[in-house]
């Protein structure tokens, strides 16, 4: 295979991620040509609306998957946390490259989270982050904030907000360095499912074989466990969910939670075991959280499965 058409969103971060993949594909396969194909998704068209109101799962993925199934592109690069638990028929995640820092960070004009004054304005695009912030600091004014990373940082620097919560991975991939960052503990402020990881998606054909050269088995195992949790819970971007798996040698540990949007109810749990049992652990952890109150939270939101 001498040429691959790689689909990507057009944001600065998406292009940075795709160019990173392009460089590594060309290094692994000398003589290969990679053509970046920019695709506008639903999430890109409605940047002034909360994600929870514009289509649920896959608002950054659907149009790109359509291009894949129609043969207009050969593969795609997504932020793993944007990928629904179930892919379109005939598509596979061919590779999960080495994972960036999965943590969330708080960027503030007045110190860390504990130092924020009551009624401080904190912006984020994620219902999960909103719920966790409200659970920790009910006195804060937590607001929905869309837009690219540069736009959000500008709102902070211009004084429209007192703090932001963003993914560390996005800042690192864009080469943005700040001195006003607090890294939030992933054991308590559990990251989004797949946060910090990339998904390289393709049809189940020869392209998938070419892409597998970029796969990191450790990242792939961790993400597989997290996504098994997501699939069993059955939530969407309207649901504050989190799961984060780590590997130490052959042992995998996964922490997860289901929260109410106002942060008043947060059901937490964890599992640990063999790395090869990650899928089973993700499912078991989901069923545990659902049985201990997670299902009730989801029912109120009109989401989720029935507990078996």
Q: What does 48-110 look like in DSSP terms, one character per residue?
A: TS-GGGTTSTTTTTHHHHHHHHTTS-SEEEEEGGGS-SSPPTTEEEEE--------EEEEESS
Q: Do residues 257 and 190 make contact, with C-beta atoms less than 8 angstroms apart?
A: yes
Per-residue pLDDT of the chain (308 residues; tens, 9 = 90+): 689 999 999 999 999 999 999 999 999 999 999 999 999 987 676 555 555 554 555 778 999 999 999 999 999 999 999 999 899 999 999 999 999 999 999 999 888 999 999 999 999 989 999 999 999 999 999 999 978 899 999 999 999 999 999 999 999 999 999 989 999 999 999 999 999 999 999 999 999 999 999 999 999 999 999 999 999 998 766 789 999 999 998 899 999 999 999 999 999 999 999 999 999 999 999 999 999 999 999 998 887 665 44
How many Å apart are CA 121 and CA 160, to the nearest integer? 8
How many Å apart are CA 268 and CA 285, to the nearest integer? 9
Torsion angles phi and psi, residue 108, rounded to 5: -140, 150
CATH superfamily name and code, 230-299: Porphobilinogen deaminase, C-terminal domain (3.30.160.40)
Domains 3-97+197-215 and 230-299 alike in fold: no
Nearest to 11 by CA among 181, 167, 118, 170: 170
Tokens of 39: 């695709």
Whether domain 104-183 has CATH 3.40.190.10: yes
Q: Do residues 165 and 124 make contact, with C-beta atoms less than 8 angstroms apart?
A: yes
* Second-level CATH architecture of 3-97+197-215: 3-Layer(aba) Sandwich (3.40)
pLDDT given at position 55: 55
Domains in the chain: boundaries = 3-97+197-215, 104-183, 230-299
Catalytic residues: 82
pLDDT given at position 308: 40
């Amino acid at each position: 295979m001498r040429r691959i058409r790689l689909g990507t969103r057009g944001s600065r971060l998406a292009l940075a991620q795709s160019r990173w993949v392009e460089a590594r594909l060309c290094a692994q396969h000398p003589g290969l040509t990679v053509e970046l194909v920019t695709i506008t998704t639903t999430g890109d068209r409605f940047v002034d609306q909360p994600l929870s109101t514009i289509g649920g799962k896959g608002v950054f993925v659907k149009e790109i998957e359509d291009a894949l199934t129609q043969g207009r592109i050969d593969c795609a690069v997504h932020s793993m946390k944007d990928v629904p638990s179930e892919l379109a028929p005939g598509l596979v995640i061919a590779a999960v490259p080495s994972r960036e820092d999965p943590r969330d960070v708080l960027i503030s004009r007045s110190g860390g989270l504990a130092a924020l004054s009551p009624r401080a304005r904190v912006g984020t695009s994620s219902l999960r982050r909103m719920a966790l912030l409200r659970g920790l600091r009910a006195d804060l004014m937590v607001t929905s904030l869309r837009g690219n990373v540069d736009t959000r940082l500008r709102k902070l620097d211009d004084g429209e907000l007192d703090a932001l919560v963003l993914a560390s991975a996005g800042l690192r991939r864009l080469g943005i360095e700040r001195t006003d960052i607090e890294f939030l503990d992933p054991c308590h402020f559990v990251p989004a499912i797949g946060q910090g990881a990339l998904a390289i998606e393709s049809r189940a054909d020869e392209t998938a074989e070419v892409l597998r050269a970029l796969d990191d088995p450790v990242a792939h195992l961790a993400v597989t466990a997290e996504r098994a949790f997501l699939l069993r819970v059955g939530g969407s971007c309207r649901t504050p969910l989190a799961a984060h798996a780590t590997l130490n040698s052959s042992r995998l540990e996964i922490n997860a939670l289901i929260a109410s949007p106002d942060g008043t109810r947060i059901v937490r749990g964890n599992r640990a075991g063999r790395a090869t049992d990650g899928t089973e652990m993700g499912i078991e952890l989901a069923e545990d959280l659902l049985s201990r109150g997670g299902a009730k939270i989801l029912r109120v939101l009109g989401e989720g499965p029935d507990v078996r």
